[in-house]
Structures are given as structure tokens and as C-alpha cells.
Chains A and B, each alone.
Chain A
């Protein structure tokens, strides 16, 4: 309940501060659209954090996917195959993170800190260190439209993935294995959970979701930008933690992470509507995140 209360409180506050504009349907649709990318990445991040891991490479992964999609389109691939290649590359990068974590026993913080840099470098190299213009072949419509009551298909996609993720987490053996490993690896192993396989699968899944987020990002930008999404990983981690996730593993919820992602968009948009300068907005965002999580933790004690 904590993240929902925080979201409603901050939302009500900005409604009061900018009543003429903040409440409008257009603004709601815009905020949902702007949340889609962070929401999809924090979906993958929820699984990773539940597992007791961390993935710092998602920002670079999103940028790389955008570049890969743009390059594929540029070389004549259709929209669907470009998307497939982009998601596949991101999933492979995720699987590599998983393999190094599970089998080489390197801590995920270090593994993904490395791949954050590697993927960023690959993206820049592949893009020739500039933004790639490519005919989007209909991909741009994923995130456009929806100026009225209807939301663009990218937002529906994010919602559907969140639902699917929640189902996987609560009703499948895989979901229970993830939570079991995050709660206590030794016990999970003794109970016969295939720890290495689950870790590999979770990071690959997070990679694939990063790929989907990258496709949505490309749809927004309509160019492949290798410098895009710097720091996105921190937003995704913040979303999960605001939503009740614990960096120690075993705790976290997908609904919470979605609300957390939305909370950050509401702060960002609200500050724009109220007309706050960027430096105030940055201070405020930090304070709200810490206070929201702080209140939540205090209540649970």
C-alpha cells in the first residue's frame, strides 16, 4: 500500500499546485507514455532484485537496442525483424551477465558494472559515434497517438508485460524459485532449486525486457542514439525500491515497481508544470524518493 499512498500524495500535491493543467487527460496520457520505458526496465529489474542481484547495464542495453534497431532498419530489415534482432541482442547481453554471475561467481554488481561500459561502447561503435537516422517503418506509432483517451500501443504493451510478469512471479515454479534464491540461496539449493539455471534465466529475461524498452525508446526518439538513457538503471532500481523491493533480495513486487516508476514521472512532470528550475527538481526528486521509501520501511517495522 505504501507506494500507492506515496503516488497519490505526490499526485494530489501537484494537482493542487497546478490545477489548471496537471489534471487533464492529455497530461495523464503523456505521463503514462513517458513512464513506459522505465516501467518495462524496472519489470526486469524486479526479478533481478528479488533474486538478490542487481543489473547496472540496462541503460546501456536500452541505448544499444535502439542503435541495433536503427542499424537493422537502415540496412533494409522490416520493422518486425529489426525489433526481433534488437530484443535478441539485449537478451544475449543479459544472458552473458547471468552466466558470469551464476557460473563464474563474480558479484552481479561488478559483472553489470562492466557490461554497462561494454554495451555503451558497443552501441557507440556500432553507431559510428553519432545518432543514426533510419526510416522507422511504422515503429514510431508504438509511442505516438493517444492524445485523447486512448493510450498508444507501447503503453498497453508495458501494462500487458507487467501483468504477465506478475502471473509468472506468483503462479509459476520459476517465480517461486526466484524468491527462494533471493531469500536464502543455501536453503534454496538444499531444497533442490537449480540455482545457476534460474540466475541465468532471470538475467536473460531482464535483458530481453531491456530490449523491449529499447524498442519503445527508439519509437520515441525515431533515431538510434548511442548516448541515450544514461542513468536509466538507477531510475529502474529506484522504482523497484520505492515499490517495496529490498536490495538484499527476496522482497519486491511488480505492482509496486510500476507505481514507483509512475511516481518518478509524476514528480518530473509536476515540476515542469509548476515551473521549477532543474536544480530544485533534482533535489526534490532525491528527497521524495528517500522519504517515500523511509516512510514505507518505518511502517513495516
Chain B
């Protein structure tokens, strides 16, 4: 009997401990009944740096606009079913609005429409949804971002040269847009010749590294067959960087990449990477919350918002606005 009581006490203590985190906003919520908005934001995962920046931006906006924000990603990172479950649970909970970064462009449509039908508006961020009753789509304009990389390629090779695109993965819409944006801009410069644009790096750094090595060999990069490589995301950029380092071509073959990590940053500092295109996840989180709150407060919301992209290179590395992208002040907003 005593042991059972102990167990019950333990479970109660565990729950109380778990709930203490959120007990703070509760009085405010009941203090101003019905008026205070409660938003749910569902990222693709919770452990990646990118999503932490999105979260920080969303927290900033929610404080400025005086709304409650619940940040909740799929329990299993990148798990489609958990994400669908979350949209349904937040709908059943009748939150004021939902912001969602869909893991799949089709699978989330039904749940999003069900939310809209129950009167919960949905703003989509980061990746597009195929159809669906949504208020707005807030994301990087990937085609324009790829175009930035293409423009930089033309600047790096003023007398023309041989260009290679290491694509990311079949069926990935955002990176496909980046690749197309890059190719469009490069093809506008007659001196630039695209010698390969049909190889894929695949899902991991490992697969990207293998693909890069074969690609460099196949194009005779060591013999001057390649002057510049474009890679459309973090894993392909890092995989290509490793392959260039291993074949002692780093710094000789130009590399324009996408996204940021500590390793890539070092590559820029040493000059092995010429430029990286950076998205602005912090702004994405911020603008998403703004779109949702504007809709709920009866203002008009644009259907599409571009959160912008910027080139990072050795020259602008120390500028404060670039530093804010490279090392966002997460602690200030996430309290860690």
C-alpha cells in the first residue's frame, strides 16, 4: 500500500514538474479571457539549427504582438504521421491559428483543410503545400536565391569557364528551384558552359561526398575540366568541399554553396568556399507569426512572402547583419 502511494505521489510530482514550465502564461490567459491569441507552430523537426532560428524569430514576433506561442515539432524528427497528428490535435484544441512547415506537400493537405473548416487559419512556412485552404505561404524564394548563386558564379569567372551543378535529391522541390534558378542565370552568360547538371548528392553528407568524388573524376577536374561547382544545400556543399579537399583541388576549383554550418563557415574563412547563399530562418519565423496574427486581427495578408536570401563571402563575413544570420542570438529569445 505504501509503495503504491509512493508511486502515485511520484507520478503526480512528475506531471507537476512537467507542467511548471507552462504554468507561467496560464494566469495571463485567464486574466484576459478570449482576447489573447494562442498560436501553434509546427516545424519539421526541433533539433536542427535552422528550426531553432525559426523558433527564435517566432518568439520575438509573439512577444511584440502579445500573443501566446506553442512550439511543437513531431516527436520523431521528420516523421510525417506525428506531424499530421499534431495538426489534428491543435485543431481539436481550437488554437487561434496554426503555422506549419509541411514535411510533405500532399499528405498534410487534408489535415490543413480540416483545420480551416473548423475555423483555425493556417499559414504555411518554409516548404510549399500542393493546394489546401491556407492564408499565406512564407518562405525563401528559392529560385531567386539560386539566381544569386548564379550571379556570383558569373562574377567569379569573368572570362567564362566550365560549371558543374551537384544536385541534391530527386523530388525535393526547394533545392530543385535553387538549381533551376542557378542554371537560368548561368545560361544567360555565354562564356559559362554547364558541363554536368544531372548528378545527385543524395540525402546524407556521406552520399554527397561519394557522388562528388565520382563527379570530379568523371569531369577530369584535376586536369582543369571544372572551374566552378554549385551545391544547393548544406549536405551537398559539405560533401563537395570534402571531395575537393581530398583531391587537393580546394581553392583551385571555385565552390558556391548553400546554407551554413561551422564547417562551411571555416571553409569560407580559409577561402576553400567562395560564397554561400544564406536563407533567413529567423525572419521566416518572425514573418510567419506576423502573417497569422494579421489574419486573426482582420488585416489583409499577402498570399506569398519571400523571406529573402543573402550571399556570404570572405569580405562581408564580419558585417553585423551577416553575423546575425551566421550566429543568431538564440539565447535571447529561447532562453537557453
Contact = CB atoms under 8 A, between A and B. Distances in A.
A276 B22 CA distance: 7
Contacts of B46: 278
A23 B90 CA distance: 14
Give the size range of B's interface with the partner: 35 or more
A280 B88 CA distance: 21
B181 interface: no
Interface in B275-291: none
Interface residues of A, number: 52
Contact of A275 (B10, B70, B106, B171): B70
Given A222-B106, A274-B18, A288-B14, 16 more contacts: A13-B15, A17-B19, A18-B93, A34-B85, A131-B107, A223-B104, A228-B79, A274-B19, A280-B18, A281-B75, A283-B14, A283-B18, A284-B15, A287-B10, A294-B7, A295-B8
B21 A277 contact: yes
Contacts of B170: 130
A85 to B, nearest CB: 21
Interface in A260-281: 268-269, 271-278, 280-281
Nearest to A221: B107
A268 B11 contact: no
Contact of B84 (A13, A31, A221, A273): A221
Nearest to A128: B170
B interface majority secondary structure = helix
Contacts of B78: 227
A29 B89 CA distance: 10
22 contacts: A17-B15, A21-B94, A22-B93, A130-B171, A131-B107, A220-B84, A221-B104, A222-B106, A223-B106, A225-B80, A225-B107, A227-B79, A227-B80, A230-B79, A231-B76, A272-B89, A272-B90, A276-B19, A277-B72, A280-B21, A283-B14, A298-B4
A275 B81 contact: no
> Quick one: which of A31, A276, A282 has the most chain B CB within 10 A?
A276
B324 interface: no
Contacts of A22: 93
A230 to B, nearest CB: 6
